[in-house]
Amino acid sequence: MFEPYESLPKKVQAVQFTEDNKDRVFNSLTGQYAAGNENGKPILKVTTIHGEVAVVRLGDWIVKDAEIGAYYPVKDEVFRDGYANDGGKRVSEANPLDRYVKKPVLDVCCGTRMMWFDKKHPAVIYGDIRSETITVKDTSHRPDGTRTLRIEPDTLMDFRDIPYPDESFKLIAFDPPHLERAGPKSWMKAKYGKLSDSWRDDIRQGFSECFRVLEDGGTLVFKWNETQVKVKEVLELTPTRPLFGQVSGRSGMTHWLVFMKGA
Ligand SMILES: C[S@@+](CC[C@H](N)C(=O)[O-])C[C@H]1O[C@@H](n2cnc3c(N)ncnc32)[C@H](O)[C@@H]1O
């Protein structure tokens, strides 16, 4: 009769009550809590919907339930178990629902999603380190000589520290920035991003993270344009060898390389 169901968690806002922020937290609670002290330490008190008085002590969390407009206290250990799934690391930059809505494909730096045939494919989590709309000069696009680029990832993420557990995906797309030099206001920089001075470490860490979150036997598709940096140099940043690849683009500079984890 009874069947197992998994309930989706709600997305909540939360703050930890600390010595440093105690006054700001109290002031933001719009009269729902009373301030006090216990053994010389600041506390907050609230009467719960069950009529009990709950005490918030330093280190406890206050969670805002946007649906009912209430703030409820949560003990630190309960918060870490139930809300901050990776042991207290703040997850708000990633979409917490993504942890539960299992999708088999991850793009770790989707940019404007130009390479995707379906830019909202339901099997894909589109991630990027930035979420922004930029208007740049581009005389080929609109009569006013501008072009608007929208980078709107589902989840803000850093490919050097991917916010998912090991072996979560079957397929990963990794198309990182490939330019060492680009004008600060250029269309190329806005669209593709630019390599930092530490780009070798960044890409090495990116490969390592992609292989970590890829299932055994899963596929990594890596794209690299070698106008400024040769693909050979980039392949030195991962011990895994691609199985095959293809060169494309007008000047034959764009490499598509296919790796399989464990092969
Ligand atoms: C070459 S573009 C990706 C283009 C994309 N494949 C497309 O089809 O439009 C590289 C993207 O990597 C993003 N990026 C740069 N560093 C990153 C990082 N550490 N983690 C995640 N994304 C990053 C940039 O913001 C940029 O959007």
C-alpha separations of 181 from 101, 229, 250 in Å? 39, 10, 20
Residue 5 has pLDDT above 70, yes or no: no
> Range with the lowest mean pLDDT among 56-65, 108-117, 161-170, 250-259?
56-65
Stronger pLDDT, 131 or 219, i.e. the higher one: 219
Which residue's CA is minimally distant from atom 13 of ligand 1? 109
Task: Please check the confidence at residue 15 and state whether its pLDDT lies above 90.
Answer: no
Residue 149 CB less than 6 A away from ligand 1: no
Q: Locate the ligand 1 atom nearest the alpha carbon of residue 178 and give its number.
A: 1
| φ, ψ at 165 (rounded to 5°) | -70, 165
Answer yes or no: is pLDDT of 144 > 80.
Answer: no
Compute how many other C-beta atoms are within 10 angstroms of the C-beta atom of residue 210: 25
Residue type at position 82: G
Provide the CA 240 distance to its chain's centre, in angstroms: 25
Q: How far, in Å, is the centroid of ligand 1 from the Cα of 129? A: 7
Q: Which atom of ligand 1 is nearest to the CA of 151?
A: 27
Which residues, listed in sequence order, are joined to residue 224 by a DSSP beta bridge? Answer: 255
Mean pLDDT of 15-35: 86
Tens-digit pLDDT profile for residues 217-236: 999 999 999 999 999 999 99
Tell how far the Cα of 125 is from the centroid of ligand 1, in angstroms: 14
Residue 129 has pLDDT above 70, yes or no: yes
Cβ–ligand 1 contact at 130 (below 6 Å): yes
Give the distance (Å) from ligand 1 centre to CA of residue 39.
Answer: 52
Return the top range by mean pLDDT from 33-37, 75-79, 100-104, 213-217: 213-217
pLDDT one-digit tens code per residue, 173-198? 999 999 988 887 777 787 788 898 99
The correct CATH number of 97-260 out of 3.10.310.10, 3.40.47.10, 3.50.90.10, 3.40.50.150 is 3.40.50.150
Ligand 1 contacts CB of residue 192 (under 6 A): yes
- Size (the chain), residues: 263
DSSP E strands: which ranges in the chain?
A: 13-16, 34-38, 41-47, 53-56, 61-65, 70-74, 105-107, 124-128, 132-137, 146-151, 155-156, 169-174, 214-225, 244-248, 254-260
pLDDT at 10: 57
User: Is residue 128 within 6 Å of ligand 1 at its C-beta?
Assistant: yes
% pLDDT > 70, the chain: 82
Q: What's residue 185's pLDDT?
A: 73
Whether the per-residue pLDDT at 241 is higher than 90: the answer is yes
Please tell me if the CB atom of residue 119 comes closer than 6 angstroms to any atom of ligand 1: no
Q: Give the pLDDT score at 224.
A: 96
Eight-class DSSP state of 97 = G
Q: Whose CA is nearest to atom 19 of ligand 1?
A: 158
Cα 217 to middle of ligand 1, angstroms: 25
Which residue owns the Cα nearest ligand 1 atom 18? 158
- The predicted model gives 95-114 an average pLDDT of 76
Separation of 135 CA from ligand 1 center, angstroms?
Answer: 17
Choose between 210 and 38: higher pLDDT.
Answer: 210
User: Is the Cβ–Cβ distance between 136 and 186 less than 8 Å?
Assistant: yes
Q: What is the mean pLDDT of residues 69-82?
A: 73
Domain ranges (residues) in the chain? 3-94, 97-260
Work out whether strand 254-260 and strand 214-225 pair parallel, antiparallel, or are unpaired.
antiparallel
Pairwise CA distance, residues 146 & 187, whole Å = 10
pLDDT at 110 over 80: yes
pLDDT of 75 above 70: yes
Q: Buried b vs exposed e over 214-246: b needs ≥16 C-beta within 10 Å?
A: bbeebbbbbbbbbeebebeebbebbebebeebe
Whole-angstrom distance, CA of residue 8 vs CA of residue 140: 46
Mean pLDDT for the chain?
83
Residue owning tokens 């803000």: 156
pLDDT tens, residue by residue, 146-162: 778 889 988 889 999 99
Asked if residue 132 has pLDDT above 80, the reply is: yes
Confidence of residue 91 (pLDDT cuts 50, 70, 90): very low
Helix (H) or strand (E) holding 6: none
* C-beta 179 within 6 A of ligand 1: no
- Pick the more confident residue, 97 or 232: 232
Of the two residues 55 and 234, the one the predictor is more confident about is 234
